[in-house]
Amino acid sequence: MKIANVKNIPAFRAETTETKAESKNKQEKKYVDPLATWPLRGLGYTNDIGVAINEIAPTTAKLFWVPALMYFGADVYDKYKNKGNKYDPNAQRAFSQAVFQAFASILLPAVFGHIGQSGFSFIDKFRGEKLSTNAKEQTLRFLKNYSSEHDIFNANNRDTVIKDFEESFNIFYQDKVNHYKKQNIFSKIYDTTLANCKKGAIANSKEQRIKDFAKKQFLELLNNCSDSEALKQSVDKKVFKLKVWKSAGSFTALLLTVKLIDDFVEKIIIKKVVEPQLSKIPLNSKKSISDFGNTKSVQSKQ
């Protein structure tokens, strides 16, 4: 009988189907950063919620910056100390993550939030009184200030009260127009896109249209309110509704752009700008501040 060469016999592996599956899962399983997944990722956008509600709740809006800044610091520190789930301090990785969070969680969302407010304000020009939300709001604020400075409810002649208001608003409107004309093109672009048209809302409105709106609101409040306090409360309610509309614009802009912003910052700003520049800086050899001191001491002994 001829016995086959033992060397040619395939090696026997005591490996069951279950162990194969386990090894495959180990290979395919990747580390998932808890700070980069929801709901923790949402903490990075709380400041942008603050931007959206700043119009209606300024004090509360400031508080929304607290979790956002805490998240910012925690994420940068985590990326400095760890590479995935492995301890590996690296200054380049920390700097890259700081840039990512600065753009993706703070700067760009805030910019688009303000653009959303300005956009929704502009949409108002295509409905109702054909005036922007900001123009209406500034007109109502003027009306409120005017009523606090003039005794409009105790005047003897109603026609005189109305005429005085119209003359005062005409002066207010002309001042806004003259002031806006002096602004340069960059100031106007900033005002239109990011500053909610604080300078140009009245100036960019149709003159007769804004004056008719002011007179209509004044007569409505004069007829429906018994005194200046009631008028102030009524104006505040009107202004609040306008602010809610602008806040809705901010939330809409954030919802539409949040994913696009993350992708843009990661693929363009980080991958094509930050990382190529960081690769030229030899920071990897320095893990921590203590390393610098140790290196100097070794060199001095030599």
Q: Where are the domains of the chain?
A: 127-246
Confidence category of residue 289, pLDDT binned at 50, 70, 90: very low
Tell me which amino acid residue 52 is: A
* Residue for token pair 């901010």: 250
Please indicate whether residue 116 or residue 9 has the higher confidence score (pLDDT).
116
pLDDT over 70 at 273, yes or no: yes
- H or E element, residue 82: strand 82-83
H or E element in which residue 86 lies: strand 86-87
Q: Which of 114, 108, 135 is nearest to 53 (CA)?
A: 114
Residues 50 and 62 sit within 8 Å (Cβ to Cβ): yes
Most confident listed range (154-158, 215-219, 274-278): 215-219
Q: How far is CA 192 from the centre of its chain?
A: 17
Give me the mean pLDDT over the 213-236 stretch.
93
Q: How sure is the predictor about 283, in pLDDT bands with cuts at 50, 70 and 90?
A: low
pLDDT score of 281: 76
pLDDT of 97-126, one tens digit each?
A: 999 999 988 899 889 999 999 999 999 999
| Averaged confidence pLDDT in the chain | 83
Encoded tokens for 143? 């009306």
* Packed helices 207-224 and 133-149: angle between N→C axes, nearest 10 degrees: 50
